[in-house]
Amino acid sequence: MQNILDDIKIIADLAVKEDLGTGDITSMLTIDAHHLSEGKIIAKADGIISGMLVVDYLLRTYTTVKYEILRNDGDFATTGETVMRLKGTTIEILSYERVMLNFLQHLSGIATYTNEFVMKVANYGCKVLDTRKTLPGMRKLEKKAVLDGRGINHRMGLYAAVLIKENHILAAGSITKAYKKIKASSAYHDLHSNPEFFIQIECEDLSQVRESCHLGVDEILLDNMSHEMMQEAITLIRNLSPKTSIEVSGNVSLESVVDIARLRPDRISIGKITHSAPVLDLSLLLDDILIV
Helices (H), 73-172: 90-120, 139-148, 166-172
* Catalytic annotation, pick one of 165, 210, 262, 272: 165
Q: What is the DSSP letter of 148?
A: H
Query: Residue 4's closest CA among 113, 146, 126, 206?
Result: 146
Cβ–Cβ < 8 Å for 82, 41 = yes
Q: Catalytic residue at 255?
A: no
Cα separation of 212 and 89, whole Å?
62
* Catalytic annotation, pick one of 98, 127, 181, 262: 98
* Catalytic annotation, pick one of 24, 73, 223, 247: 223
* Catalytic annotation, pick one of 133, 150, 210, 262: 133
Question: What would you measure as the largest C-alpha separation in the chain, in angstroms?
Answer: 74
Cβ–Cβ < 8 Å for 99, 20 = yes
* Catalytic annotation, pick one of 202, 204, 219, 247: 202
The beta strand positions in the chain, using DSSP E, are 36-43, 47-48, 66-69, 76-77, 82-89, 127-129, 162-164, 199-203, 219-223, 245-249, 267-269, 282-286, 289-291
Q: What is the radius of gyration, based on Cα positions, of the chain? A: 23
Q: Catalytic residue at 98?
A: yes
Q: Is 69 exposed, middle or buried (0-12, 13-18, 19+ CB in 10 A)?
A: middle
Q: Catalytic residue at 133?
A: yes
For residue 152, which phi and psi values (nearest 5 degrees)?
Answer: -125, 145
Task: Tell me the catalytic residues.
Answer: 98, 133, 165, 202, 223
